[in-house]
A and B are shown apart, each in its own frame.
Chain A
Amino acid sequence: MSAAARRAGRTLAVSAWLLPLAVLGVQALSRRWFFPQLLPRTWTFAPLRAVLTDDRTMAAVGRGLAVGVAVTAIALLAAWPAARLLATAGAAGRGLIFAVLFLPSLLPAVGLAIGVNTVLLRTPLSSGLPAVVVAHLVPTMPYAVALLTAAFARLDPDRERQAALLGASAWQRLRLVVLPAVAGGVAAAAVLVFLVSWSQYLLTLLAGGGRVVTVTMLLFNALAGGNPSSIGSLALVAAAPSVLALAVAAVGLREPARS
């Protein structure tokens, strides 16, 4: 592929990602914006300021972040050994394991949410924040396992052996050889798991028993209310961690680590 074609492809991809965000931004900063106007006649920061200074919104952001970070950490830790095994083990059975892992993703969201909730109701984690975290692990684990497996499959086992032969302990091999080699896969898995968790609505609603309110849930409520500026402002808040996570991952992976 030529450099010009690559540049064009990159521009197209970034535009496709930025355009909806730009539309949300305009909607959040407008007082009235109706068809066929290309841009709103009146601009204002009031709806965005109202959302950003609202205690309920900020509490929902904090809750969503807490759930997302917890789900990401647990999913990555749990997926790590599974992915290592899947990447190094023979091909036999690997397809079946992936099929079982991804099976919940094939179910309709409502069916999955009700099923998870039914199981959780029979455990001490019947509702509340821990229940939401456990519920979010169901749709996120397959992504974590799949992305980490791909990362480990690219890791040459001879590199680890070589490090051991040079005197590196198991912890040093993990820190100095394995982690730098799979950092891209870990970052990609972390971003994806966080985003899937952050944007969950039905699982959060059912597993949280309506008491765990996240930004996504506020956004759904706002959609029912019909105020376009508030919807735009909340949508921007909902999109912010995703944009930030992607930006951090993109910048963090550009420079290789130095000793």
Chain B
Amino acid sequence: MTLEVEGLRKRFGRGAPAVLDGAAFTVPGGSLTSLLGSSGAGKSTVLHIVAGLVPADDGSVRLDGRPLDRVPAHKRPLTMLLQRPNLFDHLDVVDNAAFGLRVRGRRRAERRDRAHQLLRLVGVDHLAGRWPRQLSGGEAQRVALARALATDPAVLLADEPFASVDAPTRRELQDLLVRLQRELAMTVVLVTHDRDEALALSDRLVVLAGGRIVDEGPPPQLHRRPRNVATAELLGMANHWRGTLCHGCLHAGPRPLLVSAERARGPIEGPRPARWAIRPEDIRIGTVGPNVWPGRIEAQRYLGSATELTVAVGELTVVARVAPSCPSTVGETVSLQLPVEALHELEES
């Protein structure tokens, strides 16, 4: 089912800043769409409005063209996984998984059968007789997923559901969600601030910043060519500089940078102000040729598969990600090569 969100506006209290300022996007049926944004961007508020937990000041939510705005939360054909599993402490695992069926008036035997099926599907049927307090965080979130699926939701909303578990468990749960989404052809809206999670799981990304949707599209497209600073920063493109574009060169650092017309958002002859960006992993060290900036290593951070260097280039700071085998010392002078094909122009926000 296709979920359409149109012009959502929300303030929490008179005079308070707008949390949502006309957010609008579409979630295609059967897709896993991630809402990506930094803390306070309004991601969870969007989800709470879609779920009916919070009323919008303005705007509307439609499911396959049918408006949901006047439908109370418990009557909406969707459900939501919250950050914590929120299992009911007084019910065992089976009764927790069967809760949605119980409130729909299904007979006890029927709902327990269905609960066992779903617990098997998420890999925790062996825990059926346990109580929530006897489960690990990952197990509890699997039970919460089974409980959500039991209601056969048209849309599954997930508000950072893997944020409170350790990294290996998070990976398992992410794989489980993707597998179930594919198998059941579910429409899923996932809220996350984790770019790796958003890139790995999503069919489609929607980027929220300042209460508005600033970018959307398939993950590879947004990763390769982010439209603006917000998307670039959220997707790890740490380097972006404002300068003057003139005769195919960007004047922003110690030396002009050659840029490609294909990656510009307007004519490159200029002169005009422009902001260009490059991913840290696209910068090369110690090479000669065009687009080379000299700099001094200010800091380095070992990341396992790479080393991240923070390099001072005049008044600019450039972040480069190099192989751990690449020799580098803090204080050392290096040459940074910024390949023409890796430089992209961003829209000014």
Interface residue ranges, A against B (CB under 8 Å):
156, 158-159, 161-170, 172, 176-177, 180-181, 256-259
Contacts and interface: CB of A to CB of B under 8 A. Distances in A.
A1 B72 CA distance: 48
Contacts of B99: 163, 166, 168, 176, 259
23 contacts: A158-B84, A163-B103, A164-B52, A164-B72, A164-B73, A166-B103, A167-B74, A167-B100, A167-B104, A168-B74, A168-B99, A170-B74, A172-B103, A177-B88, A180-B90, A181-B90, A256-B89, A256-B90, A256-B131, A258-B91, A259-B95, A259-B98, A259-B99
Contacts of B102: 176, 259
Interface in B242-301: none
B51 A165 contact: yes
Looking at A159, A166, A168, A177, the one whose CB has the most chain B CB atoms below 10 A away is A166
Contacts of B100: 166-167
A19 B80 CA distance: 55
B148 interface: yes
Nearest to B53: A161
B134 interface: no
Given A158-B82, A161-B82, A259-B95, A169 B90 contact: no
A257 B90 contact: yes
Contacts of A170: 74
Nearest to A168: B103
A113 B80 CA distance: 54
A171 to B, nearest CB: 10
A86 to B, nearest CB: 21
A156 B86 contact: yes
Given A180-B90, A256-B90, A167 B103 contact: yes
Nearest to B83: A158
A125 B51 CA distance: 50
A172 B101 CA distance: 12
A145 to B, nearest CB: 24
B212 interface: no
Interface residues of B, number: 29
Contacts of A259: 91, 95, 98-99, 102, 108
Nearest to B144: A162
Contacts of A258: 91-92, 95
A164 B151 contact: no
B79 interface: yes
Nearest to A162: B86
Given A176-B103, A259-B108, A165 B80 contact: yes
A170 B131 CA distance: 25
Nearest to B72: A164
A256 B87 CA distance: 14
Contact of B86 (A159, A256, A257): A159
A166 B151 contact: yes
Contacts of B72: 164
B10 interface: no
Nearest to A158: B86
A158 B51 CA distance: 14
B231 to A, nearest CB: 30
Contact of A165 (B79, B91, B95, B98): B79
Nearest to B86: A162
B147 interface: yes
A159 B82 CA distance: 10
B89 A162 contact: no
Nearest to A161: B53
A170 B51 CA distance: 16
B189 to A, nearest CB: 13
B151 A167 contact: yes
A181 B90 CA distance: 7
A256 B95 CA distance: 12
The 6 closest A-B pairs by CB, nearest first: A162-B86, A166-B100, A259-B95, A180-B90, A168-B103, A256-B90
A168 B89 CA distance: 17
Given A162-B82, A166-B79, A170-B74, 19 more contacts: A156-B86, A158-B84, A161-B82, A161-B86, A162-B86, A163-B103, A164-B72, A166-B74, A166-B103, A166-B147, A167-B79, A168-B74, A177-B88, A180-B90, A181-B90, A256-B89, A256-B91, A256-B131, A259-B91
Nearest to A256: B90
B280 to A, nearest CB: 38
Nearest to B73: A164
Contacts of A165: 51, 53, 73-74, 79-80
Nearest to A257: B90
Nearest to B108: A259
A257 B90 CA distance: 6
A95 to B, nearest CB: 24
A142 B95 CA distance: 36
A234 to B, nearest CB: 41
A178 to B, nearest CB: 11
Contacts of A159: 86, 88
A177 B92 CA distance: 13
